[in-house]
C-alpha cells in the first residue's frame, strides 16, 4: 500500500505555475488560467484552482453533474445576473448551464462531479 506522502499533492496558491486555458480563452474576452489539483478529463471529476483576469468572460457551458466553487478573491457574475463575492461557497446542481464574467478578476477553487460541455449560449 502506498504511503501517505506518496498520495499527497500540495499546491500553494502564492507559488503556483498557473497554466493558461487556451481553449477557453479562444474567441473570448480576457485570460483564464488554472492549476489542476485532481481533475480527471475522462470522468469529469476532481478539483482545480481557476483564475480569471479582470474584465474576462468565460465560455458558456453546461454540467452533467454538480459543480461547486469557493471564491477566494475577486468578483464573479453568473449569466443570470447573480454576483458571487469573496468567501462565497456555491453549489450548482447537475444540468446547470451558464457563463461567468468578472470585472476585477476572480480566483476560485472548483470541484466537478461530472463533465462540462461548451455550448453556444454566450
Q: Which of 22, 110, 24 is nearest to 72 (CA)?
A: 110
Domain ranges of the chain: 17-118
Please report the pLDDT score of residue 122 as a whole number: 60
What class does CATH assign to 17-118?
A: mainly beta
The C-alpha angle 15, 71, 47, rounded to 5 degrees, equals 65
CA atoms of 101 and 76, how far apart (whole Å): 6
**What grid cell was written down for 68?**
461547486
Per-residue confidence of the chain (122 residues) as pLDDT tens digits?
999 999 999 999 999 999 999 888 888 889 999 999 999 999 999 999 999 999 999 999 899 999 999 999 999 999 999 999 999 999 999 999 999 999 999 999 999 999 888 887 66
- The pTM of the full predicted model, rounded to 2 decimals, is 0.89
What does 14-58 look like in DSSP terms, one character per residue? TT---EE-HHHHTTSSS-EEEEESS-BTTTTEEEEEEEE-TTEEP
Amino acid at each position: 500500500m502506498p504511503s501517505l506522502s506518496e498520495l499527497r499533492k500540495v499546491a500553494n496558491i502564492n507559488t503556483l505555475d498557473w497554466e493558461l486555458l487556451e481553449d477557453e480563452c479562444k474567441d473570448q474576452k480576457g485570460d483564464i488560467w488554472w492549476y489542476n489539483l485532481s481533475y480527471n478529463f475522462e470522468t469529469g471529476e476532481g478539483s482545480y484552482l481557476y483564475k480569471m483576469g479582470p474584465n474576462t468572460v468565460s465560455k458558456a457551458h453546461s454540467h452533467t453533474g454538480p459543480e461547486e466553487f469557493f471564491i477566494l478573491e475577486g468578483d464573479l457574475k453568473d449569466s443570470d445576473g447573480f454576483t458571487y463575492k469573496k468567501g462565497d461557497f456555491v453549489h450548482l446542481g447537475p444540468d446547470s448551464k451558464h457563463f461567468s464574467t468578472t470585472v476585477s478578476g476572480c480566483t476560485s477553487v472548483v470541484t466537478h462531479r461530472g463533465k462540462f460541455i461548451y455550448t453556444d449560449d454566450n
